Amino acid sequence: MSEQTISIAQTESQRQAFARQRAAIDASARWPVLGFFTGSVVWLLIGTVLALLASIKLHSPEFLDGPSWLTFGRIRPAHLNTVAYGWASQAGIGVTLWSMARLSRTELRYPRLLMFAVLLWNIGMLVGTIGILAGEGTSIEWLEFPAFAPPFFALAFAIVTVSTMVTFSNRREPHVYVTQWYLIGAVFWFPWLYTAANLLVIYAPVSGVSQASINWWYAHNVLGLWMTPIGVGSTYYLLPKVLGRPIYSYQLSLLGFWSLALFYNWAGVHHLIGGPIPAWLITLSIVGSVMMLIPVITVAINHHMTVLGSFRQLRYSPTLRFIVFGAMSYSAVSIQGSLQSLRTINEVTHFTHYTVAHAHMGAYAFFTMIMFGSIYYIVPRLTGWEWASGGLISFHFWSTSVGVLVYFIALTFGGWYQGLDLNRADVPFMTIVRNTLPYLQIRSWAGMLMAAGHLAFAALFAMNLLHFGKQRSGPTLFFDRPDAATLTVIGDAPGRTV
């Protein structure tokens, strides 16, 4: 054989070896990740129904208002908890597990234990949600599940953290990619937050007004140290992977992570500006909120510059559409958040629908859209089946992106005017209420558009699990589990020290 044919054969076998490794990793993650994704889709649908109910009840208060379990004050927290812990967190865990395994270039550890965690998590969701609707909710925002529910989540989460960290510690890839830093941060910080907040507010409540401080320290950190790292981290992996080009400035990405880690956890108490809370704590929260501009701007530069010149690709990749939308929303909502913590702005926006718009920009336009994009990328690689309909995917994208933008614009304007009027003592309260109604109605319409998108998404997901559509094809996919010998060939990279 000539030299050229030998090297071609070597390159070809290298390609196959890497493909086999990747297929093995995807196979190891299949059941746990699909388990969490299935749970997330189910609760997305439930949370969407609750969202529509809550939205309609605000401008049409007598809509379905007979029984106690349908009153707005129970539906609204049920909505928040089902979408935050049922949809967003389960999607986030699924993405975390798969991403950590892929980036570590090793199989996901403890898959059976993780399936048990799926079960625990969803049982917790069920009993917690029923608890809220039954009047057992705690009325502590983001912690409304009654005391019998959190232990399920705490145990499930411990399993997730252990699996993630053990997978990481067995990594074959010596370099710790920026996404892995974000994910380690998320699984490391969130259990601590969740346990501390539950203990200090639900199980052995601290006295008086300091409950509120713990409450909002926790609630904001769910966004900042749980959702943000997963959303931003996933973008850092999938954006370059889909485009086939590396992140614009890798150094900048690390600066972004470390500054987020340093500053984000101070920011939470900005929800209580003007309230009966010690000034030093409020000061720190404003400092943290403003300093967050550093990581936010670095992330914005990085994501934008990576995609620059390739916006055409958005036509061809579902994942890219959702992730780019989500990444842009991240920059927008974060800068908005930093501004909102400043006294002059806060004086107007606090207590209004403006805050609700901001919350949905973050949890939906940023995090949920990135989760959609990630799920579109990951699921076919786990099931081996293509998505059944490109048209439905497009419909999902347009209905949710337009829906959330309309939502955001309507409530931002409505909330701003509401705040301005609230600060003018001569404007009667009922006038302010009446003026918010058109914006609340627009929000309901936007919500229905988003709901339609969720139905399309759920249908696509179900169809993929049930193997409707085409099998995935291509030179890089293997379905039978490769034997151990082939895997170790590429695995043990030299120079890894820990």
Partner 1 sequence: MNQGPTIFLGVFLTFASAWLGLVVAPYVQLEAQRSQNAAKVDAPPETPMEGLPAQGRQVYRANGCVYCHSQQIRPENFGSDIARGWGPRRTVAQDYVGERPVMLGTMRTGPDLANIGTRQTSAAWHHLHLYNSRITSPGSIMPRFTFLYEQHQVVGQRSSAALTFPPEWDVKPGYEVVPTNEAKALVAYLLAMDRSRPLEEPGP
Partner 2 sequence: MTLAYIVIFASFVLFAVSVVFALGWAMSHGQMQNFQRGATAIFDPDEPLGTRTDSFPGSAANVVSPPERSHE
Residue 482 is a binding residue for partner 2 (CB under 8 A): no
DSSP line for 371-410: HHHHHHHHHHHHHSB--S-HHHHHHHHHHHHHHHHHHHHH
Residue ranges in 265-284 that form contacts with partner 2 under rule CB under 8 A:
265-266, 269, 278, 281, 284
> Do 387 and 469 contact (CB within 8 A), yes or no?
yes
Q: Which stretch binds partner 2 (CB under 8 A): 74-82, 87-95, 213-221, 421-429?
A: 213-221
Which of partner 1, partner 2, none is residue 351 near (CB under 5 to 8 Å by kind)?
A: partner 1
Which of partner 1, partner 2, none is residue 192 near (CB under 5 to 8 Å by kind)?
A: partner 2
> Do 178 and 250 contact (CB within 8 A), yes or no?
yes
Which of 58/227 has CB closer to partner 1? Answer: 58
Q: Which stretch binds partner 1 (CB under 8 A): 139-147, 171-179, 318-326, 473-481?
A: 139-147
Residue 61 is a binding residue for partner 1 (CB under 8 A): yes
Q: CB within 8 A of 372, min separation 6: which ones? A: 322, 396, 397, 400, 457
User: Nearest approach, Cβ of 277 to partner 2 (angstroms)?
Assistant: 9
Residue ranges in 277-296 that form contacts with partner 1 under rule CB under 8 A:
277-280, 282-283, 286-287, 290-291, 294
Residue 255 is a binding residue for partner 2 (CB under 8 A): no
Q: Please tell me what DSSP assigns to residue 245.
A: S
Residue whose tokens read 């620059």: 308
Q: CB within 8 A of 33, min separation 6: which ones? A: 94, 97, 98, 108, 378, 382
Among 87, 145, 189, 408, binds partner 2 (CB under 8 A): 189
Residue 2 is a binding residue for partner 2 (CB under 8 A): no
Residue 262 is a binding residue for partner 1 (CB under 8 A): yes
Residue ranges in 344-403 that form contacts with partner 1 under rule CB under 8 A:
347, 350-352, 355-356
Q: Which stretch binds partner 2 (CB under 8 A): 55-63, 83-91, 244-252, 481-489?
A: 244-252
Q: How far apart are CA 130 and CA 38, in angstroms?
A: 20
Q: What are phi and psi of 467, to 5 degrees?
A: 65, 40
Residue 139 is a binding residue for partner 1 (CB under 8 A): yes
Which of 162/199 has CB closer to partner 1? Answer: 199
For residue 128, give the nearest of 73, 74, 55 by alpha carbon: 74
DSSP line for 57-83: HHHSTTTT-SSGGGSHHHHHHHHHHII
Which of partner 2, partner 1, none is residue 147 near (CB under 5 to 8 Å by kind)?
A: none
Q: How far apart are CA 444 and CA 56, in angstroms?
A: 6
Residue 258 is a binding residue for partner 2 (CB under 8 A): yes
Distances (CA, A) of 391 to 242, 315, 398, 457: 20, 12, 11, 11
Which of 231/288 has CB closer to partner 1? Answer: 288
Residue 73 is a binding residue for partner 1 (CB under 8 A): yes
Residue 72 is a binding residue for partner 1 (CB under 8 A): yes
Residue 155 is a binding residue for partner 1 (CB under 8 A): no
